[in-house]
């Protein structure tokens, strides 16, 4: 099937998008967050609204651009039965569905972020900067994974592999127990500690310092590496999930990036309450299982493409129902753990 946004023709669109993201991140850290300080709930809500609004504005702009561009593209108009208006609408729905899936799967990331930052006892005023650079690294890794996915999906058997993998992941998420974060067992962290000294305490916002004339990492750097490693693990699930909804690398890339950009503000908005949504993992499990079934069966059963509108409805229902169920049936309080030291692990 021909791509609507082949890289050879739309490389400039990728470039404009990446440049826009870098400008937003530069404004974020260089102007709005020049000083290290804790982000409070109200500010986090405002920033969540801003990032979501930007994603929806981009989707609207993409719809109008494709509505104008597709009828003028001789390559597309030469395709039998190609309807430019329907294709533009399809692009908008695919972006929205992919964004919803990626943003929802990000809640799992947030739960891990909470555990990691607690484990390393990262002071609240430094957490935003750690997440900023963590997300900057995530943008690079997601771009690599999406590029690899776009290449691999040219082989039909890879579609089946991705689909089966998502189904297995969804089932494991539904029936398995919630995992624990164990940074000491992380290979990347162990390598860093073996070859680079780590200071026992934080040194402001610095990731590296000179200690007795030697370059040493601070616990902030170790926490950042742990966040990067966990995001790579999450990308293994999330990238195939969105490729189940669209085969357009541009839509996969942009919706993925917008979901990642909203992670920091979502963390500060939900970080203290994320455990209340204890049934959300069942909704996410259903989403992963559904998109896996879509890859291996539903698309073929629907004559080549399962309707994206139905996909959006099923995914939305699964997520909303699990959130509402979490609020109606709250988690039973667990016995208080023994108090632990606040000393950062280094």
Which pLDDT tens digit goes with each residue over 244-256? 889 899 999 999 9
The DSSP string of 114-144 is HHHHHHTT--HHHHHHHHHHHHHHHHHHHHH
pLDDT in tens, 100-127: 988 888 777 777 787 788 878 888 888 8
Q: Which residue has the higher pLDDT, 113 or 80?
A: 80
pLDDT at position 12 is 95
Does residue 343 carry a pLDDT above 50?
A: no
pLDDT score recorded for residue 178: 57
Residue 333: per-residue pLDDT: 64
More confident residue, 91 or 194: 91
User: CA-CA-CA-CA torsion for 127, 130, 136, 141, nearest 10 degrees?
Assistant: -110
Find all residues with CB under 8 Å of 210, minimum gap 6, and list them. Answer: 216
Asked if residues 239 and 257 have their Cβ atoms less than 8 Å apart, the reply is no
Close Cβ partners of 141 (under 8 Å, ≥ 6 residues apart): 228, 231, 232, 235
Chain mean pLDDT for the chain: 83
> 66 or 29: which carries more pLDDT confidence?
66
Rounded mean pLDDT, 176-194? 64
Distance CA 42, CA 305 (A): 42
How long, in residues, is the chain?
Answer: 346
- Over pLDDT 70: what percentage of the chain? 87
pLDDT classification of 177: cutoffs 50, 70, 90: low
Please say if the pLDDT value at position 182 is more than 80. Answer: no
Q: What would the 3-class secondary structure string for 308-346 be?
A: HHHHHHHHHHHHHHHHHHHHHCCCCCCCCCCCCCCCCCC
Q: Which residue has the tokens 């780590």?
A: 198
Domain boundaries, the chain: 28-176+237-328
C-alpha count within 13 angstroms, C-beta hemisphere, residue 278: 11
Residue 61 has pLDDT above 90, yes or no: yes
User: Which range has the worst mean pLDDT, 87-91, 165-169, 234-238?
Assistant: 234-238
Whole-number pLDDT of residue 202: 81
Question: Helices (DSSP H) in 155-218: which residue ranges?
Answer: 156-175, 187-195
Is the pLDDT assigned to residue 340 strictly greater than 50? Answer: no
Spatial neighbors of 342 by CB under 8 A, at least 6 apart, are 121
Q: How confident is the model at residue 34 (pLDDT cuts 50, 70, 90)?
A: low
* pLDDT at residue 344 in the model: 47
pTM over 0.85: no
> What's the pLDDT band for 187 if we cut at 50, 70, 90?
low
pLDDT at residue 18, rounded to an integer: 92
Is the model's pLDDT at 90 over the cut of 90?
yes
Quick one: tokens of 13?
């669109």
Torsion of CA 233, 238, 239, 241, to 10 degrees: 140
């Amino acid at each position: 099937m021909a791509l609507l946004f082949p890289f050879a023709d739309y490389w400039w669109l990728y470039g404009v998008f990446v440049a826009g993201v870098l400008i937003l991140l530069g404004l974020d850290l260089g102007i709005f967050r020049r000083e290290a300080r804790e982000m409070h709930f109200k500010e986090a809500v405002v920033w969540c609204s801003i990032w979501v609004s930007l994603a929806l504005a981009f989707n609207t702009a993409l719809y109008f651009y494709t509505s104008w561009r597709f009828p003028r593209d001789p390559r597309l108009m030469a395709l039998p039965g190609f309807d430019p208006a329907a294709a533009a609408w399809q692009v908008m729905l695919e972006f929205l569905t992919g964004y919803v899936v990626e943003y929802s799967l990000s809640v799992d990331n947030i739960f891990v972020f909470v555990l990691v930052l607690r484990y390393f006892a990262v002071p609240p005023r430094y957490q935003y900067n750690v997440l900023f650079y963590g997300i900057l690294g995530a943008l690079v890794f997601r771009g690599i994974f999406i590029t690899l996915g776009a290449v691999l999906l040219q082989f039909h058997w890879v579609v089946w592999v991705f689909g089966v993998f998502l189904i297995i992941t969804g089932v494991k998420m539904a029936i398995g127990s919630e995992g624990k974060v164990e940074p000491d067992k992380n290979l990347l962290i162990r390598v860093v500690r073996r070859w680079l000294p780590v200071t026992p305490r934080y040194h402001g916002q610095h990731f590296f310092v000179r200690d007795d004339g030697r370059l040493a990492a601070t616990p902030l750097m170790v926490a950042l590496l742990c966040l990067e490693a966990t995001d790579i693990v999450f990308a293994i699930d999330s990238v195939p999930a969105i490729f189940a909804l669209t085969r357009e690398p541009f839509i996969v890339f942009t919706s993925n990036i917008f979901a990642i950009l909203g992670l920091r503000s979502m963390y500060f908005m939900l970080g203290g309450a994320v455990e209340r949504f204890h049934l959300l993992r069942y909704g996410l499990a259903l989403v992963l299982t559904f998109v896996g079934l879509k890859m291996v069966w539903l698309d073929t059963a629907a004559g080549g493409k399962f309707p994206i509108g139905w996909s959006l409805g099923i995914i939305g229902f699964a997520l909303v129902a699990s959130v509402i169920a979490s609020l109606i049936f709250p988690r039973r309080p667990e016995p208080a753990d023994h108090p632990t030291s606040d000393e950062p692990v280094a």
